[in-house]
Amino acid sequence: MGSGTLVDGVRRWFQRRTSSSSSSTSNSNSNFSSNSDSSDPNLNYPNLHKFDYVDNGGVSGDQLLSSDLRAQSSIAHKRKPLRKQTQLGEGGILEQLPEEEDDDLDYSALKLIKVPKRINHFRNPPPPLPSALMDSHKKGGLETEFFTEYGEASRYQVQEIIGKGSYGVVGSAVDTHTDEKVAIKKINDVFEHVSDATRILREIKLLRLLRHPDIVEIKHIMLPPSRREFRDIYVVFELMESDLHQVIKANDDLTPEHHQFFLYQLLRGLKYIHTANVFHRDLKPKNILANADCKLKICDFGLARVSFNDAPSAIFWTDYVATRWYRAPELCGSFFSKYTPAIDIWSIGCIFAEMLTGKPLFPGKNVVHQLDLMTDVLGTPSSESIARIRNEKARRYLSNMRRKQPVPLTQKFPNADPLALRLLQRLLAFDPKDRPTAEEALADPYFQGLANVDREPSTQPISKLEFEFERRKLTKDDVRELIYREILEYHPQMLQEYLRSGEQTSFMYPSGVDRFKRQFAHLEEHYGKGERSTPLQRQHASLPRERIPAPKDEAGQHNDLEGRNVATSLQSPPKSQGDGSENANGNEQNGQNKPNYSARSLLKSASISASKCIGVKPRKDLEEEPISETNDEAVDGVSHKMSALHT
């Protein structure tokens, strides 16, 4: 087949696809010859032809197919089985939501990316599981028929430990029913702290309700043996190969097509999340799982919140914890009184910039440094934006800052697609009201030919009833019951039983969990043998600090918690830590340009708010640790006391 024929074929196919979708998308792309918009003087790039295969200029068919055009033309619908969803309707009645078509993109023509193993799990392969740990119960029989879920005891065969987080250990396993590989997260001692248990409840609930190809899927949750006494839970996820943090580190040859597909998926997932009225609040490369075929999935909804219009934002945000580098400016010092989904858009902008260069865009060492880095690139915000800032100290800090001109993004990212940079500029608007919504971003010219609203579903806002628990103070038993109820969503027969008998059902169910426990224990025993493997501790971020004694910093090491570092810097002369965490503006070390009062007081605010976050996390990534925020009033009040102490 000659190249012309092939090109014509591809073009015809592509035209058919887009013409069928162009009626519903604002990105209609009728002739696939979308050249760059050179009207923007900042974006004067020579190589701006996207989709200009109308004139193939003698390019061979093979070349064409291996180029970006091939990637563009290869995005096809892939149908997967429909997923069922339920949510609590008014009056607590379980409603079956309309079945959603799981419609995904096929990226098979994109160059595979390297996905290094996240952890070198075993120097030597682990010894095989002893036969006692393998499943021995016989299938069939009355018992199995009655307890359909009983079968799950033999369903998953755990293979190896693939990751550890502060909430659990993640193992890869095979679902012997489907031969599918899955990831099983074991969360131990769920109810040790109510705040942790609530976070887990929130996450599993959200992941049940947010079903989308760009969001990690919970496939199953093992039924605990006892409704009233269980302590551990096992959550079965679809298995992903790596995460975006690792992908960015391992691939210095990501192409413009990779960047575009990655951002597209993130925005598509975010559009869905935001239409459910959910804010993720902790988007960062580590919270985006990735496969070698370029599939990305948003995960870790532990900090996410559902926004109900009547919820006062002060309460809503009191336990805010997010990773500083990806944190929107309005959260660096609690600037704006009412936060919006635009905080997630900012994070996506930071992640996108990191994909383009391989390096974090704003690796701030504390909130003030974070703001300095932002304004170094974006310039000082307009006086109108500054005027909207509610926090007085933050307003003063920014108003007193020396005027900075924005750096053209073309200068900062000289090799990037100018259309990508134009979108990036929008995502990184200092003022949240100037950032596009995810939906608007998907309609940006950057995605011309790729975006298609038919593939970018919205969803219904999540029912208030599902998150009614956020409004009351829960006891351990309350959360246990709520988590149990959530687990039953994956055990329909048990759920019916539970709904019928209500409180009465408290006998022990046959469960696969005991066998699992042993399998995990065996693998964990050999996990990271010969390597330093520090168990991670949870951060009880949302507990008021007086409820738990602050842990000692035993090794004399600083916690990563920003506030601690900052507090230290206020008491003693700055010393170089290598990570510069005590050097707010990167200029205290030589004694010049000491931060002005506003910077200090902003840092103090951060230190106070961070003091709420009392868990100790081992230093995984020195600078990129979460700190907590609290509301302005609390910050100001305690900050005032602290100022009195330190001045």
SS3 (DSSP) at 243:
strand
Task: Out of 282, 431, 444, 632, pick the active-site residue.
Answer: 282
Site mask for ligand ATP (CB under 6 A), range 437-456, x = bound? --------------------
Task: Report 364-403 residues binding ligand ATP (CB under 6 A).
Answer: none
Least distance (Å) between residue 200 CB and ligand ATP: 9
Region label for 371, one of left (φ > 0), alpha (ψ between -120 and 50) or beta (otherwise):
alpha
Does the annotation count 282 as an active-site position? Answer: yes
Least distance (Å) between residue 334 CB and ligand ATP: 23
Near ligand ATP by CB under 6 A: residue from 89, 163, 225, 461? 163
Closest C-alpha to 562, from 548, 583, 547: 583
Give me the residues paired with residue 634 across strands.
none
Near ligand ATP by CB under 6 A: residue from 175, 300, 354, 439? 300
Task: Report 164-183 residues binding ligand ATP (CB under 6 A).
Answer: 164-168, 170, 183
Look up residue 312 and give its DSSP letter: -
Task: Report 513-572 residues binding ligand ATP (CB under 6 A).
Answer: 536
**How many other CB atoms are found less than 10 A from the CB of residue 600?**
21
Using rule CB under 6 A, residue 610 touches ligand ATP: no
Give me the residues paired with residue 321 across strands.
628
The Cα–Cα gap between 348 and 336 comes to 19
Least distance (Å) between residue 527 CB and ligand ATP: 12
Find the radius of gyration of the CA atoms of the chain. 26
Angle at 171 between CA 167 and CA 177, to 5 degrees: 125
Using rule CB under 6 A, residue 319 touches ligand ATP: no
How many alpha carbons fall within 13 Å on the CB side of residue 312? 5
Least distance (Å) between residue 324 CB and ligand ATP: 15
Using rule CB under 6 A, residue 239 touches ligand ATP: yes
Site mask for ligand ATP (CB under 6 A), range 240-279, x = bound? x--x------------------------------------
Q: Beta strands 288-290 and 296-298: pairing type? A: antiparallel
Closest C-alpha to 88, from 259, 224, 239, 208: 208
Q: Beta strands 288-290 and 278-279: pairing type? A: unpaired
Contact call for residues 152 and 223 (beta carbons, < 8 A): yes
Using rule CB under 6 A, residue 467 touches ligand ATP: no
Angle at 258 between CA 253 and CA 261, to 5 degrees: 170
Residue 299 structure tokens: 């995960």
Dihedral sign (CA 594, 599, 601, 607)? negative
**Nearest-CB residue for ligand ATP:** 165
Choices 129-137, 247-255, 299-307, 567-575 (CB under 6 A): range interacting with ligand ATP: 299-307
Using rule CB under 6 A, residue 215 touches ligand ATP: no
Site mask for ligand ATP (CB under 6 A), range 116-155, x = bound? --x-------------------------------------
Q: How many residues interact with ligand ATP (rule CB under 6 A)? A: 21
Near ligand ATP by CB under 6 A: residue from 216, 276, 328, 613? 216
C-beta pairs of 462-466 under 8 Å, 24+ apart in sequence: 462/87, 462/206, 462/209, 462/276, 462/277, 462/278, 462/306, 463/87, 463/88, 463/89, 463/90, 464/308, 465/88, 465/89, 465/90, 465/92, 466/87, 466/88, 466/205, 466/209, 466/306
Choices 122-130, 160-168, 367-375, 405-413 (CB under 6 A): range interacting with ligand ATP: 160-168
Least distance (Å) between residue 225 CB and ligand ATP: 23
Least distance (Å) between residue 290 CB and ligand ATP: 9
The Cα–Cα gap between 343 and 280 comes to 9
The Cα–Cα gap between 513 and 510 comes to 9
Near ligand ATP by CB under 6 A: residue from 161, 162, 197, 420? 162
Using rule CB under 6 A, residue 210 touches ligand ATP: no
Contact call for residues 350 and 362 (beta carbons, < 8 A): yes
540 CB-contact burial (10 Å; exposed 0-12 / middle 13-18 / buried 19+): buried
Site mask for ligand ATP (CB under 6 A), range 31-60, x = bound? ------------------------------
Using rule CB under 6 A, residue 355 touches ligand ATP: no
Least distance (Å) between residue 295 CB and ligand ATP: 12
Least distance (Å) between residue 182 CB and ligand ATP: 8
Q: Is 271 annotated as a binding residue?
A: no
Interface residues toward ligand ATP, by CB under 6 A:
118, 162-168, 170, 183, 216, 237-240, 243, 289, 299-300, 302, 536
Task: Give me the active site residues, please.
Answer: 282
Give the residue ranges of the annotated binding site. Answer: 186
Q: Which residues are annotated as a binding site for ATP?
A: 186
